[in-house]
Copies of this chain bind each other. A is one copy, B any other.
Amino acid sequence: MIARLFCWMIAVTGALLSPMAQAEDGYDLWLRYARADQARSADLAAHATAIVAPGNSPTLTAATAELQRGVAGMSGTAPTLSAIVQQGALWLATPASAPALPIRTEGLGNEGYAIRSTQMEGKAVTLIAANSDIGLLHGAYHWLRLAQTGARLDAIDIRSAPRIGLRLLNHWDNLNGTVERGYAGASIWDWWRLPDWKGPRYTDYARANASIGINGTILNNVNAKADSLTAPYIAKAAGLADVFRPYGIKVYLSVKWTAPMELDGLKTADPLDPAVAAWWQAKADEIYRAIPDFGGFLVKANSEGQPGPQDYNRTHADGANMLAAAVKPHGGIVMWRAFVYAHDNPDDRAKQAYTDFKPLDGRFADNVIVQVKNGAIDFQPREPFHPLFGAMPKTPLMMEFQITKEYLGQSTHLTYLGTLFEETLDADTYAKGKGSTVAKVIDGSLDGHELTGIAGVANIGADRDWSGSIFNQADWYAFGRLAWDTSLSAESIAKEWAEMTFSPDPKVVQPVVTMMMGSREAAVDYMTPLGLTHVMDTGHHYGPGPWVSDLARPEWNPVYYHKADANGIGFDRTKTGSDAVSQYAPPVAKMWGNVKTTPERDLLWFHHLSWDHRLRSGETLWDGLVHRYDRGVAYVADMQTRWAALKPHVDAERFAQTQTFLTIQHREALWWRDASIAYFQSLSKRPLPTGSAAPAHDLNWYKAQRFPYAPGHN
């Protein structure tokens, strides 16, 4: 400990003299702890003269080490560890360590914390209080966030505890090192050399996640291989669990339904077969011997070709409950995904998950939670909230967001997802009347569930900057912050992220936040305006393919989703169509069931309309569609201008990367616009509105584009 501290102190003394010495390659994420200006530096040092901690557990060591590293980076001086509270100390305490704690810790739970500027024996101190070491670690990260974002350090009074219990990353990482829908290089899990070699990156992963409150990670792809449950791979997972444990992060595994057959030759995977249940019980026992705090299983069953209990004429509940019984004695849980749709089901794909799961409400074991994607299709730039939210009051539902941008520009587009997450969490299901937001469904407060969760499909890879670009880091950050506190605004999160990632200087923060806040809407505009959806090209989902109609399953084809022809465009999900609206609570169904009350952002999701349909602006649907494509492209051009002006204020490497990626984004936004217009115009036969340029190429050119090595498509 002392040796490490010594290194940091020396490092910082050096850094003091060399503000530009280190290339800003993005590896440090929002934990850069960049040197503050002189006044702030002195302020920081005065409010971190020493650190008092109630022990030296691995978690407390992580907390104090992070505080030392942070203060040293920002102020130039690392605070020492002290047994005695002194003026200006950071005082970490629990009720057990300090019985006369001047802060109540009731209500903070096992992960929350309070931070208060207070007095102790006549000395001004900053008290970080919690019921547990993990709570103190979270509090330490909160204080460091305050320190990095220019907050006042002499009048802190904060209480914070998460309302959602499970705040998880889902890694769609394959055992061969590739990442499904990964756009940031190979998997960061070096499965081959685990558990022997546990490189320093695993610790940095844990630090980053702990700093935003993530408390669990599903290590392998939901399209799972049975091998992840073999003894060697359990040992590898245990190696990672050992690294993550001090940071309050549990590991979980995705499991393949037919593992008992593949690994041990069972004749069936029928969940009601006692031999199958015994196999899973023994497997759970084996895992818990290696990982005593193992979190549990995530299951993708009977979905997109994966096997599952329906293969044996059993229900999802039968399957989930059998697995739940296996992990129950160890305190584990099962997360059962509701992302299902069947090739032989002619009904609207948007309805199928509800149809399958709604009847199972109340039939799941108490350690099962059903994991529902934010929308009913598949992580589109915009989707109405999933109809299952609010529809299964007897069943805990957890949210599945996608942080990796499969449908939102992949590695290079700047499309901040905080606004997407916020929009979904704030959506009102009306399940128990007005105010029944999705956030209240998943935090358990609407229906009184104790088991609560939220998952994000990780955008993390072996690229030096973790997420494929600096701005993609903001999506990871925003997911964690909102998972901890769904009441935060996407804008406030963008602001604190920008302050920590670039600089607290408003000259930087203001334009960066402006860019971010409109960026996802811009992608909606240039990709899927007015409620269009899933018009991405086949398989890799990179670029436009609204004309695609030749895929094996109807609901894989873009034409299935937009239903454009000479007369009009859109998917009628009202009573005259698939009646998907009836899956929502009556006020919601009524709103979306009527074209007049449907927000235009959702228009073509719910309605099939004539090209000449009048939008609220008075323009025709066709003209409005084209104008939105134009607007999306223009927004990207605007971001380019804003970013260019930041050149004097951003380090060269990150400036150049972002500038390059904005150039790519602008080119591709134009491509999206042009290809979409070329195709839809071939159906609508309408002229472009005045001022809108014709596509650069003819439709056949766009159809001929091929991307055989597009990333993330395994």
User: Chain A interface (Cβ within 8 Å of chain B)?
Assistant: 7, 10-11, 13-23, 25, 175-178, 185-186, 191-193, 196-197, 199-201, 227, 411-412, 462-464, 653, 657, 660-661, 663-664, 708-711
Give chain B nearest CB distance to A230 CB in angstroms.
9
Task: Verify B411–A193 contact, CB threshold 8 A.
Answer: yes
Q: For the complex, give the distance between the alpha carbons of A671 and B653 in Å.
A: 46
Q: List 9 A-B pairs, Cβ < 8 Å.
A: A11-B22, A13-B14, A13-B17, A14-B15, A176-B709, A177-B709, A185-B186, A185-B462, A197-B657
What DSSP secondary structure best describes chain A's contact surface? loop
Task: Verify B711–A177 contact, CB threshold 8 A.
Answer: yes
Q: Would A193 and B14 be within 8 Å (CB), given that A25-B200, A185-B462 are in contact?
A: no
What residues on B are CB-neighbors of A19 within 8 Å?
10
What residues on B are CB-neighbors of A192 within 8 Å?
411, 709-711
Q: For the complex, give the distance between the alpha carbons of A711 and B711 in Å.
A: 19
Q: For the complex, give the distance between the alpha carbons of A20 and B7 in Å.
A: 6
Q: For the complex, give the distance between the alpha carbons of A13 and B175 in Å.
A: 44
Contact among B25, B177, B199 for A657, CB-based, below 8 A? B199
Q: Would A11 and B7 be within 8 Å (CB), given that A177-B186, A411-B193, A657-B199 are in contact?
A: no
Q: For the complex, give the distance between the alpha carbons of A193 and B183 in Å.
A: 11
Task: Verify A197–B661 contact, CB threshold 8 A.
Answer: yes
Contact among B11, B176, B411, B661 for A21, CB-based, below 8 A? B11
Q: For the complex, give the distance between the alpha carbons of A411 and B177 in Å.
A: 15
Q: For the complex, give the distance between the alpha carbons of A88 and B176 in Å.
A: 55
Task: Verify B663–A196 contact, CB threshold 8 A.
Answer: yes
What residues on B are CB-neighbors of A16 within 8 Å?
14
Query: Which residue of B has the minimal Cβ distance to A11?
Result: B21
Most-contacted residue by chain B among A14, A186, A663 (CB, 10 A): A14
Contact among B14, B176, B708, B711 for A14, CB-based, below 8 A? B14
What residues on B are CB-neighbors of A201 within 8 Å?
464
Q: For the complex, give the distance between the alpha carbons of A196 and B709 in Å.
A: 16
Contact among B17, B463, B660, B661 for A17, CB-based, below 8 A? B17
Task: Verify A15–B21 contact, CB threshold 8 A.
Answer: yes
Q: For the complex, give the distance between the alpha carbons of A21 and B18 in Å.
A: 12
Query: Which residue of B has the minimal Cβ distance to A4?
Result: B652
Q: For the complex, give the distance between the alpha carbons of A23 and B201 in Å.
A: 12
Q: For the complex, give the distance between the alpha carbons of A227 and B708 in Å.
A: 8
What residues on B are CB-neighbors of A193 within 8 Å?
411-412, 664
What residues on B are CB-neighbors of A13 within 8 Å?
14, 17-18
What residues on B are CB-neighbors of A11 within 8 Å?
18, 20-22
What residues on B are CB-neighbors of A191 within 8 Å?
709
Give chain B nearest CB distance to A714 CB in angstroms.
9
- Of all A-B residue pairs in the complex, the 3 with the closest CB atoms, nearest first, are A14-B18, A14-B14, A11-B21
Task: Verify A709–B175 contact, CB threshold 8 A.
Answer: yes
Q: For the complex, give the distance between the alpha carbons of A54 and B498 in Å.
A: 45
Most-contacted residue by chain B among A10, A13, A18, A201 (CB, 10 A): A18
17 additional A-B residue pairs with CB within 8 Å, beyond A7-B20, A193-B664: A13-B18, A14-B14, A14-B15, A14-B16, A14-B17, A15-B21, A23-B200, A177-B186, A177-B709, A177-B711, A178-B178, A185-B462, A193-B411, A196-B664, A197-B660, A197-B664, A200-B653
Give chain B nearest CB distance to A344 CB in angstroms.
32
Q: For the complex, give the distance between the alpha carbons of A686 and B190 in Å.
A: 41
Q: For the complex, give the distance between the alpha carbons of A280 and B178 in Å.
A: 34
Q: Would A14 and B21 be within 8 Å (CB), given that A186-B177, A186-B186, A411-B193 are in contact?
A: yes
Give chain B nearest CB distance to A497 CB in angstroms.
22
Task: Verify A462–B175 contact, CB threshold 8 A.
Answer: no
What residues on B are CB-neighbors of A462 within 8 Å?
185-186, 462-463
Task: Verify B23–A18 contact, CB threshold 8 A.
Answer: no
Query: Which residue of B has the minimal Cβ distance to A19?
Result: B10
Query: Which residue of B has the minimal Cβ distance to A199?
Result: B657
What residues on B are CB-neighbors of A653 within 8 Å?
200
Give chain B nearest CB distance to A706 CB in angstroms.
9
Q: For the complex, give the distance between the alpha carbons of A200 and B26 in Å.
A: 13
What residues on B are CB-neighbors of A175 within 8 Å?
708-709
Task: Verify A10–B17 contact, CB threshold 8 A.
Answer: yes
Give chain B nearest CB distance to A667 CB in angstroms.
9
Query: Which residue of B has the minimal Cβ distance to A468?
Result: B193
Q: For the complex, give the distance between the alpha carbons of A56 and B309 in Å.
A: 70
Q: For the complex, give the distance between the alpha carbons of A21 and B664 in Å.
A: 37
Query: Which residue of B has the minimal Cβ distance to A661?
Result: B197
Query: Which residue of B has the minimal Cβ distance to A13?
Result: B17
Q: For the complex, give the distance between the alpha carbons of A192 and B540 in Å.
A: 13
Task: Verify A709–B227 contact, CB threshold 8 A.
Answer: yes
What residues on B are CB-neighbors of A22 within 8 Å?
11
Q: For the complex, give the distance between the alpha carbons of A479 and B354 in Å.
A: 62
What residues on B are CB-neighbors of A227 within 8 Å?
708-709
Query: Which residue of B has the minimal Cβ distance to A20?
Result: B7
Q: For the complex, give the distance between the alpha carbons of A405 and B365 in Å.
A: 51
Most-contacted residue by chain B among A16, A17, A462, A464 (CB, 10 A): A17
Q: For the complex, give the distance between the alpha carbons of A13 and B16 in Å.
A: 10
Query: Which residue of B has the minimal Cβ distance to A18?
Result: B14
Q: For the complex, give the distance between the alpha carbons of A464 and B202 in Å.
A: 13
Give chain B nearest CB distance to A657 CB in angstroms.
7
Task: Verify A21–B10 contact, CB threshold 8 A.
Answer: yes
